[in-house]
Structure 1
Amino acid sequence: MMNSGSRSALVASGKKYRTRGISRRVSRITISAIKEMPLLASRIGGCVSLGQGIPSFPTPGHIVEAVCRALRDDPDSGKYTLGPGMSELRQAVARDLGARGIEADPDREICITVGAMEALSEAVLTVVERGDEVILPSPNYASHIEQVLLAEGVPVFVPLTREDWQLDVESIRNAVTPRTKAIVLCNPHNPTGANFAEADLRALAQIALENDLFVISDETYDFLVYDGQRCFSLSTLPELRGRIIATFSFSKKYAMTGWRVGYVYASEEILDQMMKIHDAMSICAPTVSQLAALAALQGPQDCVEQIRAALTRRRDLICARLDRLPDAFGYVKPRGAYYLMARYRFPGTDSMTFALRLLHEARVIGIPGAAFGPDGENHIRFSFGGAEEQIEEAFDRMERWFAGSPFSR
């Protein structure tokens, strides 16, 4: 089952690819449209982005200073660490997880990785074999699709409820077959901004238990929910121990996307197997980035609240601007993360065509919904991680563009 949205982006870029001699596992995956649209925009010039999920905030100063001190004073700061990561960092991660109700052994159940993306790829490669089916609530994060395909698994898309982007538990249950191996879940949800209900997550856990499935839980945005809500983590359920692989990231919580550091929590039996891939692919996460992650966990946490407050204002701003374009878009107000899926009201226009016209004619970057699976078609994903001025400029451009009735020509 292919990811047509991403493939369309590659076609749009004008590139031609040699496939002779290239492995099937590589030739059947693509770079996601999330990365391709900014590349296209860089060739056009003068574009404003509501595309890739890069928060505008600088890495907090206390993190930067701690790394600078280590680079000056610690001769080991430029050397490899142990494969699973610095012991002090794994202990700090375990304490942080424990404060959230997740009991983890820092020596046996935690590995520091090159971002959550490495952890997710290793998780899928560890448990998915050729022909195994993997359930993906749809729309879903584009790279999850490619990770399943890379493992030669079969993505099985189960639609979220369209009215509020929540899990459809019964449809997930009905999608399970003897070939189902795992469920991959991102919560809070990229790309829709949903925060899944605890009752539905507990029901999903029960489906996994009843059918001997793994749950791969992408918890990159666990800190970012709105309106006084709580984010429920499947990792807190003791009955899932031995079945859950949970991945976490420092990228968004501490404005550290470029540091490329995250971590994975799994039982010792699973993590030992994942470590084989980790060793073969990366040896260890960059030491300098691990030092930054340690400073993030040990330092003041008011920076996280400041990021959360700023993103709350940006969520409200992008919703207000969408409300001024009711003839162009419908949307569900995000409950978490910093994305929303806007359904455009132009029948007969596929999402890649819409995104490319928006890019070329309005100079605004959005991500075509089809990149997030079949249930993303007729939508475009907008990120509100950028500065308020950037959001305002993007919507000013779109308002001028729509005023010219681009889809009636």
Structure 2
Amino acid sequence: MSSSAAPPFARRAHNIKISATKLMPMLAAGVGDCASLGQGVPSFATPAHVVEAVCRALRDSPAAGKYSLQPGMPELRWAVADRLAAEKGLAANPETEVAITVGGMEALLCAVLCLCERGDEVLVPEPFYPSHVEQVLLAEGVPVLVPLRRDDWSLDPEAVAAAVGPRTKAIIINSPHNPTGAVFAEKDLLAVAEIALRHDLCVICDDTYDALSYDAPAFSLASLPELRPRLVAVGSFSKRYALTGWRVGFAFAPEPIMAQMLKVHDCTAICAPTPAQIAALASLTGPQGIYDGFLASLSARRRLLTRRLDAMAPAMGYNHPGGAFYVMARYDLPLSPMHVATRLIREAQVVTIPGDSFGPGGAASLRLSYGGDEADIETACDRLGAWLAAQRAKR
């Protein structure tokens, strides 16, 4: 007689979980008519010139619906290399040091799986982007959380240095930062680079939001030649170019590291979807003014959301964000973030992300996104403010 019990699962699957950034929108989908300050998706439609480039390729070129070369379309790799040189001074060989991936997420996973052995420690600034931690766990490594300074969410080199141990293998740096919106100071990043060099650590530089810095350009560790032999720099077309659903990103790594990453890429994805690569190439090589408009719109939305949060004080407080499109907002209710976020969906039809899903620094906080359009932000803030006022009236 056969058993109906589930088979035993691998420990690596048991050790990881789906992030709250995905769970909360799933919960909201069952409620309906929710205004979202939740998942990090810019509201902008795929630009017309990108749509036209993909449609033209699908009509005219049979290759557009087939596999590309495993590391990506050559012309896209060359365009990425040109952009890295222009913006970061990083001279990358597009033949051996650049790969096109299924979003920046796959590039990060390839890097972590190649660089991290079982039991190796990886330093992760905290609050953290959940997938950074989950990918280290999937590789059977040990994520070591390094607290950001709580007064402004800045990178703390002293905390980084204190966290380095004999099993430390790498550090993941993400600036502009998800979930806090912080843009790390150049002096702090340079100090962390010195720590990495002193301890022979690899640096995984997650530059997903590198173009979304509103007050001054964001400095990237990918621009430091000294780090090059131990650097993986990850980029994404999702946020900057509003191509979230196209799932296309890229990685730079020196040839010895890239050769290992491409093995993982080959056995997991083969190649990034070719139509998505065509969209990415059109984004890089087509008119750029529209993306300046995206940045200006997001900057205006930042002003809108922070103004609305100011009006909710003291019920809500926050550290002013310099980049990405997130605010880590603190509330003054004696309730857990998951409890608050769940009730906001069910009682106010507002999507937020519980702050403690990003680590201890997110206690009594909600991550709010201003990626949505201004009407959605206004509606969500109206509902959020009314709900908070009702809760405070009950106290």
User: Shared fold (TM-score greater than 0.5)?
Assistant: yes
CA shift at 1:312, angstroms? 0.4
- Counterpart pick for 1:328 among 315, 322, 343: 315
TM-score normalised by the chain length of structure 2: 0.97
- Aligned position for 1:204: 192
1:399 is matched with 385
Letter paired with 2:69 = L
1:303 alignment counterpart = 290
Whether the 8 Å contact between 1:254 and 1:303 is mirrored in structure 2 is no
Q: Which residue of 2 aligns with 1:115?
A: 103
In structure 2, the residue matched to 1:80 is 67
**SS of 1:404's equivalent?**
helix
Structure 2, gaps ≥5 residues long: none
Q: Is 1:159 the counterpart of 2:147 in the alignment?
A: yes
Matched, 1:267 2:254: yes
Which residue of 2 is the match for residue 314 of structure 1? 301
From 159, 162, 179, the counterpart of 1:171: 159
How does 1:179-190 map onto structure 2 within 5 Å?
179-190=167-178
**Counterpart-to-counterpart distance in 2, 1:374 and 1:20:** 34
SS at match of 2:345: helix
For residues 126 and 269 of structure 2, what CA distance do their matches in structure 1 show? 30
Q: Which residue of 2 aligns with 1:372?
A: 358
Structure 1 residue runs of 5 or longer lacking an equivalent are: 1-17
Structure 1 residues 407 and 104: CA distance shift in structure 2, 3 A = farther
Q: d(CA) in 2 for partners of 1:126 and 1:185?
A: 17
Q: Which secondary structure does the structure 1 equivalent of 2:54 belong to?
A: helix
How is 1:56-95 mapped onto 2 (pairs within 5 angstroms)? 56-95=43-82
Asked if 2 retains the 8 angstrom alpha-carbon contact of 1:186 and 1:218, the reply is yes
Which amino acid is the alignment partner of residue 32 of structure 1? S
TM-score computed with the length of structure 1 as normaliser: 0.94
Query: Contact 1:19–1:27 (CA<8 Å) still a contact in 2?
Result: no
Displacement of 1:163 in angstroms is 1.0
Contact 2:211 2:217 in 1 (8 A): no
Q: Which moved more, 1:112-121 or 1:155-164?
A: 155-164
- Residue type at the aligned position of 2:171: I
The whole-number CA distance in structure 1 between the counterparts of 2:387 and 2:183 is 32
1:341-363 CA-to-partner distances (Å, cap 9, x unmatched) read 001112x3221111112221111
Letter in 2 for 1:169: P
How many positions carry a matched residue from both structures? 390
Rounded Cα–Cα distance in structure 2 between residues aligned with 1:407 and 1:163: 29
- Offset of 1:340 from its aligned partner? 0.8
Question: Aligned to 1:251, what secondary structure does the other structure show?
Answer: coil
Aligned to 2:367: 381
Task: Give the Cα separation in 2 of the matches to 1:264 and 1:408.
Answer: 51
Q: Aligned-pair distance for 1:408? A: 3.6
Superposition RMSD in Å: 1.2
State the 1:57 CA deviation: 0.4
Q: Percent identity?
A: 57
**2:121–2:170 CA contact under 8 A, matched in 1:** yes
1:395 partner letter: C
Name the CA distance, whole Å, in 2 between partners of 1:395 and 1:337: 19
What is the match of residue 248 of structure 1?
Answer: 235
Q: Deviations over 1:73-93 (max 9, x none)?
A: 011111111111011110111
